[in-house]
C-alpha cells in the first residue's frame, strides 16, 4: 500500500533552491523592474535572461511539459509543489517557463498541433520568443460555448473569422491569439488585419475579429473540435491556477501571523485576542485542506488523465477561489488600515481574488459539474425510508441473529430492550 505525504529528498533540494532563487533573485527584480520578464527591451532582457539560464541549467524550465517537448516531464504533482513557491511572485512563473496563459496554449499545441505548427508556434512559445493569449469567452455568452457566435468560414485557401471576444487575458501584448470559434480552434497572429483590441479592459482584453483572414493551416486540431481542445486546455489551466493560489494563501497567512505577533491593541499583543486566534486557526485549516485537495488532484492526473480528474479539478477551482478570498480578507483585517493600501501585497491580492472565481468558468458552473458527477455514483433509496433509517436497518440486522434468538429467549428480550432505549419502537 502506497500512501505517502513526503517529497523525495532530491526534489526537495530543488524546491529549496527554487525558494531561495525566487526570494533572492526574482523578488528584487520584480520590485524594481515590474513586468521586466515580458519586455523586449535589450536592457530588460539582459537582466532576465541570465535568470532563465539558471533555471534551465537546473532542469526546471517548462516543467509542465513532457521530456520529448523540451520539459523535464515531472508531472502535475511536482509542478504543484513548485507552484507553491512560484505563485508568491508575479514574475516567477514566466522566468521558469510556465506562465499563464502560455502554458495552456502550449499544451494544446503539443497535443493537437501538426509538426509544422509546433515548429512555427510551440517551440518559440517554449523559448519565450513569442507570447500568446487564449480568446474564448464572448460578451453575450460568457464561457458557455453553446452561446458563442464567432465563426470561421472557408474562402479558398483561407479561413475568414468574424466575431467578438471578451476577457482575452494578455491579448494586447500577445504575438498569437488562440481563437475559439463555433467550428474550430484557430491560431491568429495579433497583427493580422481585422484584429481590433479595444481600449478596455486593459489587461483582460475585448477583441473584435472582422473579416480576419488566416491560411487553412492555422486550424488547430480537427474542424469542429474546439470544445474538445478547450476542455483539454482549461482542465490543466484550472489546476495550475489552484496551485498558484496556494502560494498566495500562504503568503497572506505568513503576513497575518507576523503581524499578529508584532502589533499591540487594548493592552496586549493582538495574537492573544481570540478573534485573531480564530482567524489564524481557520486559515491554517483551510489552506491545508486546499493544499491536500490540489496535491491529490495533481497525483490523480499523473496516474490517469486530466479528463478522468475533471470532477476534482472543478472542486479545486472553486475551493481555491474561496480559500484565497477568505484568507486574504482575514489578513487585511489583522493589518487594519495598512492592509487597505497598496504598500503591501494584500490589497492587490484581495482585488484580484474575484478573478479566481470567474476565470476559466464561474464557480457556480464548476459546482454544478461536481454535483452532477458525484450524484452519478448514487441511487435513490427504495421505499419510503432512507438507507440509514435505523428501525428498518435494525429489523434487517436482527435476521442475522435469528439462530441465536431461537436458542436463547433472553437475547430476544435484551435486543428488544436496547431497541426501545434507542427509540426504534
Is residue 4 one of the residues assigned to a domain?
A: no
Helix (H, G, I), strand (E, B) or coil at 335: helix
Q: Are residues 148 and 65 in the same domain?
A: no
Pairwise CA distance, residues 312 & 295, whole Å: 10
Instruction: Specify the CATH number for the domain of residue 249.
Output: 1.20.140.10
Is residue 413 one of the residues assigned to a domain?
A: yes
Question: Domains in the chain: how many in total?
Answer: 4
Pairwise CA distance, residues 102 & 62, whole Å: 11
Is residue 72 one of the residues assigned to a domain?
A: yes
Q: Are residues 310 and 417 in the same domain?
A: no
Q: Final residue of a domain: which of 52, 78, 99?
A: 99
CA 3 to chain centre: 24
Average pLDDT over all residues of the chain: 94
Name the band, by pLDDT with cuts 50, 70 and 90, for residue 425. Answer: very low
- What pairing do the DSSP bridges indicate for beta strands 204-215 and 158-169? antiparallel
Q: Are residues 352 and 280 in the same domain?
A: yes
Which residues are CB-contacts of 314 (< 8 A; sequence separation ≥ 6)? Answer: 238, 366, 367, 369, 370, 373
Q: Shortest CA distance to 331 belongs to which of 321, 346, 319? A: 346
End-to-end CA distance of the chain: 44
| pTM score, whole prediction | 0.90
Q: Are residues 194 and 254 in the same domain?
A: no
pLDDT in tens, 246-287: 999 999 999 999 999 999 999 999 999 999 999 999 999 999
SS3 content of the chain, % helix, strand, coil (to 5): 60, 15, 30
Q: Are residues 174 and 246 in the same domain?
A: no
Q: Are residues 233 and 355 in the same domain?
A: yes
Q: Are residues 304 and 408 in the same domain?
A: no
Q: Are residues 231 and 210 in the same domain?
A: no
Q: Which domain holds residue 402?
A: 390-421
Q: Are residues 249 and 370 in the same domain?
A: yes
Is residue 315 one of the residues assigned to a domain?
A: yes
Q: Are residues 252 and 346 in the same domain?
A: yes
Give the mean pLDDT of 236-241: 86
Pairwise CA distance, residues 63 & 99, whole Å: 11
Give the pLDDT of residue 306: 85
Q: Are residues 345 and 401 in the same domain?
A: no
Q: Are residues 72 and 137 in the same domain?
A: no
Amino acid at each position: 500500500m502506497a500512501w505517502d505525504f513526503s517529497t523525495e529528498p532530491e526534489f526537495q533540494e530543488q524546491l529549496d533552491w527554487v525558494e531561495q532563487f525566487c526570494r533572492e533573485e526574482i523578488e528584487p527584480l520584480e520590485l524594481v523592474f515590474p513586468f521586466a520578464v515580458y519586455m523586449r527591451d535589450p536592457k530588460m532582457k539582459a537582466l532576465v535572461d541570465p535568470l532563465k539560464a539558471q533555471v534551465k541549467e537546473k532542469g526546471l524550465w517548462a516543467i509542465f511539459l513532457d521530456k520529448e517537448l523540451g520539459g523535464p516531464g515531472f508531472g502535475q504533482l511536482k509542478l504543484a509543489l513548485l507552484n507553491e513557491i512560484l505563485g508568491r511572485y508575479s514574475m516567477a512563473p514566466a522566468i521558469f517557463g510556465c506562465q499563464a496563459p502560455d502554458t495552456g496554449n502550449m499544451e494544446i499545441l503539443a497535443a493537437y498541433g501538426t509538426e509544422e505548427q509546433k515548429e512555427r508556434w510551440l517551440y518559440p512559445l517554449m523559448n519565450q520568443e513569442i507570447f500568446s493569449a487564449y480568446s474564448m469567452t464572448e460578451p453575450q455568452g460568457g464561457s458557455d460555448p453553446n452561446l458563442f457566435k464567432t465563426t470561421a468560414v472557408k474562402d479558398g485557401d483561407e479561413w475568414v473569422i468574424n466575431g467578438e471576444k471578451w476577457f482575452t487575458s494578455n491579448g494586447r501584448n500577445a504575438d498569437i491569439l488562440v481563437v475559439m470559434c463555433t467550428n474550430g480552434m484557430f491560431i491568429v497572429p495579433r497583427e493580422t488585419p481585422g484584429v481590433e483590441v479595444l481600449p478596455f479592459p486593459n489587461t483582460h482584453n475585448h477583441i473584435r475579429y472582422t473579416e480576419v483572414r488566416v491560411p487553412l493551416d492555422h486550424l488547430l486540431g480537427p474542424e469542429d473540435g474546439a470544445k474538445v481542445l478547450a476542455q483539454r486546455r482549461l482542465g490543466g489551466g484550472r489546476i495550475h491556477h489552484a496551485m498558484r493560489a496556494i502560494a498566495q494563501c500562504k503568503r497572506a497567512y505568513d503576513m497575518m501571523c507576523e503581524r499578529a505577533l508584532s502589533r499591540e491593541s487594548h493592552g496586549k499583543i493582538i495574537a492573544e485576542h481570540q478573534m485573531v486566534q480564530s482567524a489564524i486557526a481557520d486559515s491554517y485549516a483551510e489552506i491545508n485542506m486546499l493544499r491536500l485537495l490540489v496535491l491529490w488532484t495533481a497525483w490523480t492526473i499523473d496516474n490517469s488523465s486530466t479528463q478522468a480528474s475533471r470532477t476534482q479539478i472543478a472542486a479545486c477551482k472553486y475551493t481555491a477561489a474561496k480559500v484565497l478570498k477568505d484568507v486574504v480578507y482575514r489578513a487585511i483585517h489583522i493589518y487594519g488600515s495598512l492592509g487597505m493600501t497598496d504598500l503591501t501585497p494584500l490589497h492587490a491580492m484581495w482585488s484580484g481574488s474575484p478573478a479566481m472565481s470567474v476565470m476559466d468558468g464561474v464557480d457556480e458552473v464548476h459546482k454544478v459539474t461536481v454535483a452532477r458527477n458525484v450524484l452519478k455514483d448514487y441511487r435513490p433509496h427504495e421505499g419510503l425510508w432512507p438507507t440509514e433509517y435505523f428501525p428498518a436497518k435494525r429489523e434487517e440486522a436482527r435476521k442475522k441473529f435469528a439462530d441465536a434468538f431461537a436458542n436463547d429467549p433472553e437475547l430476544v428480550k435484551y435486543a428488544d430492550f436496547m431497541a426501545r432505549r434507542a427509540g426504534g419502537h
